[in-house]
Structure 1
């Protein structure tokens, strides 16, 4: 967001070595400090660090497309900056006007749409190079060629800008003329799964299982659904590949636990999927066993020697077995029986739990349904002792020589007593015997790991404790280093040669030192050793997965590190795919006659293609991603058809990079 108004004594474009004065024209509030930076090809330079000055002089030394950035922050502010503005500035002399105009087939479009650009010139032949501005940085989308047209797919929402550089065929300059054109990309409305469930009331083996998904999306968009079945061993099977059908059905011949994953995406979304949902379900051999009721003919409490009749009412299953378990001072176990009732002859006073286990004869588990009744044989009852809450006035990381207060809230019993044990590195340091006080204060004198144990028991208990609670804390001479954020310019697409700059934000910055370890595909290539520098940069020379391990610690610390964070950047080898076009060997399409479609693209590396066909209003995936850039199709019925081709490089992780659609009618 441009919050600061930037003015110049000389307007863009200018020649190099021009004295350009950059001014901040609007002061948003008092006591602001300003920082001035310029960026060229992703490399940033500071013209003037934070000061009260509202202007700075800039003397550019080389031609190029610059970004001017001004940051402002409050003198006593805690943020890196409170306001920021960015503007483009061109340095370079245009010797000859070669470009007459640049036109787009549309200037406002939706995310995923294809844009076509045409350059009108004053002479021919000429060479053209195309740049696209992404995240305030210019990136080459197509190198110099004689093509004065370009088509590409918009993948980022917001305002965009295309720069066309032009030069004569025999020119040694970077460019002889240039011109820019702006456009706006409207973001897709969010595709969101609202409901995903089974249509069947019972999911049984050998019967058709039907699942339905409901999604929220922008009206008129083509939404694709993919369903993947996952069994209990983690094995996956695609039940339906991406299609516009949102109801899926299949027959499962084996009972067990399953998951069904639904992936949903807009057809033109650049993501692998826009939303997903998963449901867990059980395919059963028979209907669930359910205990409708488990009752006794007598109410609790009862006197000893009373006969209590237990009665079970169960539905479901095929051949049901019952098991009655009496848990208390005098235990009983009936074993599995076909009887739905049991006579319990009480023999000893106490509190009992009476369990009913039910299962089908074919089940190998202990039980399929369980119910429990609490029953008292005599009238005595006692509430157990338990700790409800432990309150500590410090966190689990503290400084030495600072007091720590701990309070225990417990309930139950008749007359509670409290005891405390403090251990240092698993050795008893201090012990407080049982008493009425439920709180303790402690001052750690040494840097170490401490353990607190609080014990509670009833005054009349003959046990060592009725309940206890243990927690740990670490005491330090100084607070360990902690990395709060790692800032670096996020881009959708890094290629070899792009410089990556990272800034580390830490707490207590002046006392924190940082060690940087760079790995490429898990191979260590550089380690800086500990330094006060919170900025690190590298320029990748090969493609791969770059991982930067950042270790931070207090400069007084003797540990290897106090905190660690990892940043991973994927470096690509090639430019994105553009100008994807479908051609066909037929101009007229007839039923039962084959048609051969061929696809060509520019850019990318080891390009793969995926084909969709729309027939009778439904899109269906007909050829997965492969290097085959052709597809043969035979229409079997008259009507309107569409062929969609998605293209991406083999190493590209997204759903696609570019696409094209061909409409045709079969007679």
Structure 2
């Protein structure tokens, strides 16, 4: 590559005896020697042999078209020269101008724009050569041709210059006319990442983890993002190559500390990246175990020989184990079991401590969550009060304003009374005093976590309650969307041109909107906005893996989406090749007589065949894949021969789709 640039203090053309100074334009880190020469009509003259001078004066005595050349070499170099640069110069009256003007499609450009160059001339035909100057370096953009237009893509944010050289088609000169024009590049607003966050509330192994990146940049610019995952050992894995997708997701299979590196760049930037950001995150093996509720089916105190059911409501983990320890006059230890309830039959009166320990099956420690309570067993004669059933007319997720009905059934005692306490986010919002009514109705008017507690006691009991039970519900402003099913016809094969229709099944359908993103071989092809339509169809026009991401959300949702599902369908050009058969018209095979084998098959598209011959125990490829469905060979020995044919569709990427083997004895 030419790394030497020269210019002259006076623009061409000039008159004889003009004092023209030839200058070395660029600076080099190494020490160079320069040799100045001029050439005219094939004759060259040395103006100054190798010297340290970076300029010299030239006074031409004759009219003509000159080539000014400077050679440079390293002071201690072995080459005759290391760099060279040339420029054309006219002395005397300039010939008739061929170029009237150079027209650009606009005055100012930005990175990635197309500069459309049009050269207006006063005659045709003529030939054109184009040079582009960026960072003081001239580069040939297009050699001589009759094309008076050029399209050049802006690759840097530096201003530049365009030189057009023009000559007649029969001219033997390097050029007969030339003209320059400058172009100016406006700097873009720097791409800057302003937000990088994880969209998951919890990061758990074997669950999809989603991240979102936001950047600030010039309006109407295409920004690409690349994501790398880095584990605690420094191993790097590519999650997403440069793409316009700002949301990236993957499933992490191992717990640990990770970093996600995002590189952002303008699509037309020459930089490896324009900005980057790192997000640290920790993936847990499972959700942290937490005991939500620890209670018994009857209240303390109770009589000896009463069966007391200890109940634990815990969340988190993958496979929970429970250990129940009763400490007192008569102690029990259940060891770790799988059940969230335990039946304790009290045997001796006294004060007891009931403890529960919870851990995941895979945890090596003693426990991950713990709770305890005090319980008294006495010997007073009494018929214990028990809650047999406590039901709600609604499931756990409820819409605000809906009517909730709670009913409790209890047994024991003499004359049972019922009370209800309703709490929202831990605060009491309603309390029903004891009465004979064993049900309550209420309408939650605000969203939140509600706790409904039913209390039962005997009319003659002095306790606050003899037994109680608790139900929890979540009340929402809206019910978050959930995609229950994706329905589409199940076929063995989908072909190009077959219409593919899918239906989305969701609850609360009329308030749910859906967005569809379709990709072919992981390249996004179509993306809809959120629409109320729950059916989506398309007709594939090419083979490949078609993937559809379905995002659903409630119309009142403030989140980007509430639920996501993914489906993939493989589209084929043709059904697979099957029933490949080799047949031969001969029944008897003789040495040195040719034998022709024919092949027929079913299915496929533009089926190709490849033939092998087994001779003396070795398979030999005799005819590579082609549409020719026959093969002829001549046996030269008395022996057993095997002919094998492989078949496949022309555009199949598999080695073969079907085969057959034919054996003959010669």
Q: Smaller-chain TM-score range?
A: 0.3 to 0.5
Bigger radius of gyration: 2
- Please give the TM-score of this superposition, normalised by the length of structure 1: 0.35
Higher RCO (CA-CA < 8 Å; seq separation 6+): 1
